[in-house]
Amino acid sequence: MFYHIKELQYTAKPSKPDPVYAKKLQEILGGQYGEISVMMQYLFQGWNCRAEGKYRDMILDIATEEIAHVEMIATMIAQLLDNAPAHDQEQGAKDPVIEAVLGGMNPQHAIVNGLGAQPNDSVGYPWTARYTVASGNLLADFRANLNAESQGRLQAVRLYEMTTDPAVRDMLSFLIARDTMHQNQWLAAIEELEQSQGIVVPSTFNKEYEKQEVSYSFMNYSEGEESRAGRWASGPTLDGQSTFEYVQSPKAMGQKPKLEPGAKYIHGTPPLNFKLEQDSE
C-alpha cells in the first residue's frame, strides 16, 4: 500500500519558464535510464522477490523513493512550461530569434499534455516496460540496478551542465546526490551477495555442464595485443576458481555451416548447382 504526501521529497520549482529545457528534462523522466524506468524496475523486483527480509524491504524502500523522483521531475517540467508557449509564440512572431528557440520546444507539451510532462524521452519516444529488468535473481538484478543508477546519474550531471537556472540545478543536485547513494547501495548489496553466492550468475548451475575449457579464456579477436595488459588476461580469476588465459588469434572450433535446400513451398533461392525442373511436355 502506498500513501501520497502532498509535499514533494525535495523542492522542484524553476526560477523561470523554459520550454526548451523542459523537453531535455524528459530524458531523465521517461528515457531508458529515467526515473520511471528505475521506479518500475525496483517495484517489480520487490514485488517479485522471494527472498523475504532485508533485500525485499530495501528494494521497495528505494522503489518508493523513485516514485517521489518521478513526481519531482514531472512537477518541474510542468512549471518550466508555465505561461511559456502562448507568450513565446506571440514574441516569436515578432522576433525570429525567439521563434527559432521556440522551435526547440516539444509541441506535444502544449498540444497533447496541456503544458504537462509525459512518459516519453527527450525526443518523444514513449517509455516502455522493456527498459526494466526483474529476473528473480537478485545478484543479476542488483547489477542491472547499478548500471541504471550509473547511467541515470551521468545523464543528470549532463543536464545540470545544460542549464544556468539555479533552482533547476538545485533539484538536479539533490537527484545526483541520491544517485550517489543508490550506486553505493547497490554496490554494497552486490558485494554482500557475492560473498555468499560467488560472483558468477547463476551460482546454482552445475559447473560439470559448462564447457570449462573456455570458461576463463580471454580471446583476442583484434589486431595487436593491447588487451593483454588488462586484469582480465592473466592472473587468478575473480571468482577464485581458475587462472585467466590469454588466447591470441583464436582458431575456429566449429564446422563450416551447410544448410540443406528449403522445401519447394518456401520458394527460396536454390543452390548454385541446382537445375530447375522442366515440364516433360
The per-residue pLDDT for range 124-163, each reduced to its tens digit, is 999 999 999 999 999 999 999 999 999 999 999 999 999 9
Binding-site residues for Ca(2+) = 57, 61, 220, 222, 224
Please provide the DSSP assignment of 57-91 as one string. HHHHHHHHHHHHHHHHHHHHHHHHTTTHHHHHHHH
Domain that residue 244 falls in: 207-248
Residues 39 and 149 in one domain: yes
CA geometry: angle 45, 64, 16, nearest 5 deg: 130
Q: Rounded to 10 degrees, what is the CA torsion of 137, 130, 58, 160? A: 130
Number of structural domains, the chain?
Answer: 2
Binding-site residues for Mn(2+) = 35, 66, 69, 149, 182
Choose among 14, 276, 112, 68: nearest CA to 120. Answer: 112
Query: What mean pLDDT do residues 38-67 have?
Result: 96
What is the per-residue pLDDT for 271? 75
Q: Quote the strand ranges of 74-194, DSSP E.
A: none
pLDDT at 87 over 90: no
- In this structure, are residues 12 and 72 in contact, taking their beta carbons and an 8 Å threshold? yes
- In this structure, are residues 71 and 11 in contact, taking their beta carbons and an 8 Å threshold? no
2 belongs to a structural domain: no
Residue 24 backbone dihedrals phi, psi, to 5 degrees? -65, -40
Residues 116 and 228 in one domain: no
pTM for the whole structure: 0.86
State the pLDDT confidence band at 98, using cuts at 50, 70 and 90. low
Residues 89 and 221 in one domain: no
45 belongs to a structural domain: yes
Binding-site residues = 35, 57, 61, 66, 69, 149, 182, 220, 222, 224
Percentage of residues in the chain with pLDDT exceeding 90?
74
Residues 67 and 185 in one domain: yes
Report pLDDT digits (tens) over 180-226: 999 999 999 999 999 999 999 998 888 889 999 999 999 999 999 99
Name which of 52-61, 92-101, 210-219, 244-253 the model is least confident about. 92-101
